[in-house]
Copies of this chain bind each other. A is one copy, B any other.
């Protein structure tokens, strides 16, 4: 994946190392960074032995990463360790931060995540966004971004980039929303409407949700199908640890897999799409509830309280999900199907019928279905972590900017 910080700037002035030397230095900075991130706190000597460079070479790299605010020294290692004491290195909690944002149909959210993966600031606003133009919604989102950025800066962080999750199809330029039917947005260039001082990546919320599961999930395998819902239903197909994006970047539209070809018309132009049976509006209708804010919370509460109409509606949605997932599992053969987003909170009432359908239909042993512990925070966290991962993957780019 090309993250916001991945562009190479081979014409940068000043010290002009030959290309191969410069490339190798950047790769080695990344190796040091990843080693400390995965194994730290570690002394310089431990880093050197871990990646097979000399201690002197590692010290030069570490000094550069400390100067850029990407690594910190914790002071001398605790006594009791064998050998000469060294200062333990850890990933900085006061360097760059990833700013993640989410445009939901009924809410906006923004957070700042530091290099250690901690959420250091967060803001949200509830209220409908459907039918409001991108300009009005993104003006509000920009205000939240500035608020969170200011809070993060107050804690000693600086924003390394902004990633925005949207419930729609995003063009390859990673800024244009081609179509977001549940917001009624078409061909909207978000880049022009967001703070320009931050490198920007816009992506589909289901993609960021799937990436969050890959990066932050417990024991998530490298081949899985992540299914999530807010108002619509989306999926992220992860194959060998990489998100499958499709030719136009539109892969994962599970909500528009037809499950009853003569079923009701869908906003996408199709008929009998999964969303017509398991999307939020369809479930609310089947449960006899009106659309409105936090309907997912209401459905979960009513189901927990034993409301039979709600339980029947969720059973029906689980069956519909099971039919669509049978097709997806037969096509993709993932190791696990992960229910994320709003589906995670409704899983107790969706899973029995979903698993029954998958079990009786799928060729071969039924695929395992698990529930994301990230739930509806997935897309927002995935967005923020995509910026953090880009920094960890190429700390040299930040070092050159800093």
Residues of A within 8 A of B (CB): 6, 8, 10-12, 20, 24, 27, 52-53, 169, 178-179, 221, 223, 235, 237, 239, 244-254, 256-261, 268-271, 323-324, 326-328, 330-335, 360-364
Whether the Cβ atoms of B331 and A328 lie closer than 8 Å is yes
Are B251 and A332 interface neighbours, CB within 8 A? Answer: yes
Q: Verify A331–B269 contact, CB threshold 8 A.
A: no
Task: Flag if A360 contacts B330 (CB, 8 Å).
Answer: no
Measured CB to CB, the nearest residue on chain B to A359 is B269
> Contact at B10–A53, with CB atoms within 8 Å?
yes
Q: With A244-B239, A246-B223, A364-B179 as known contacts, state yes or no: A270 contacts B332, CB within 8 Å.
A: no
* A-B contact sample (11 more), CB < 8 A, given A246-B333, A250-B363, A258-B361: A11-B52, A12-B52, A237-B332, A246-B332, A247-B334, A248-B333, A250-B364, A254-B331, A260-B261, A270-B362, A271-B361
Least CB distance from A27 to B in Å reads 7
A363:B270 contact, CB within 8 angstroms: yes
Q: Which of B24, B178, B247 makes the CB contact (< 8 A) with A333?
A: B247
Q: Within the assembled complex, what's the spacing in Å between the Cα atoms of A334 and B326?
A: 20
A330 — nearest CB in chain B belongs to which residue?
Answer: B253
Residues in B whose Cβ lies below 8 Å from that of A249: 333
CB-based nearest B residue for A221: B247
Contact B334 A331 (CB under 8 A): no
Q: Most chain-B CB neighbours within 10 Å: which of A8, A169, A244, A247?
A: A247
Are A253 and B11 closer than 8 Å at their CB atoms? no
User: Contact: B333 with A52, CB < 8 Å?
Assistant: no
CB-CB under 8 A from A326, the residues of chain B are 256-258, 270
Task: A284 to B169: give the CA distance in the assembly, Å.
Answer: 41
Contact flag A259-B257 (CB < 8 Å), given A270-B362, A332-B251: no
Least CB distance, A73 to chain B, in whole angstroms: 24
Per CB-CB distance, the 3 closest pairs between chain A and chain B, nearest first, are A246-B333, A11-B52, A257-B327
- B52 engages A330 (CB within 8 Å): no
> B residues within 8 A CB of A260?
260-261
Given contacts A223-B247, A332-B246, contact A323 B261 (CB under 8 A): yes
CB distance from A55 to the nearest CB of B (A): 13
Q: Give A245 to B252 CA distance when docked, in angstroms.
A: 18
Which residue on B lies nearest to A179, using beta carbons? B364
Partner pick for A364 among B53, B248, B257, CB 8 A cutoff: B248
**B363-A268 in contact (CB<8A):** yes
Chain B's closest residue to A336 (CB) is: B247
Distance, CA A29 to CA B328, complexed state (A)? 41
A246 B334 Cβ-Cβ under 8 A = yes
Complex Cα spacing A198 to B328, Å: 36
Q: Which residues of B contact A328 (CB under 8 A)?
A: 327, 331
B contact residues around A169 at 8 Å (CB): 363-364
CB < 8 Å neighbour of A239 from B239, B258, B330: B239
- Min CB distance, A106 to chain B, in Å? 22
Give the shortest distance, in Å, between A51 (CB) and chain B (any CB).
Answer: 8
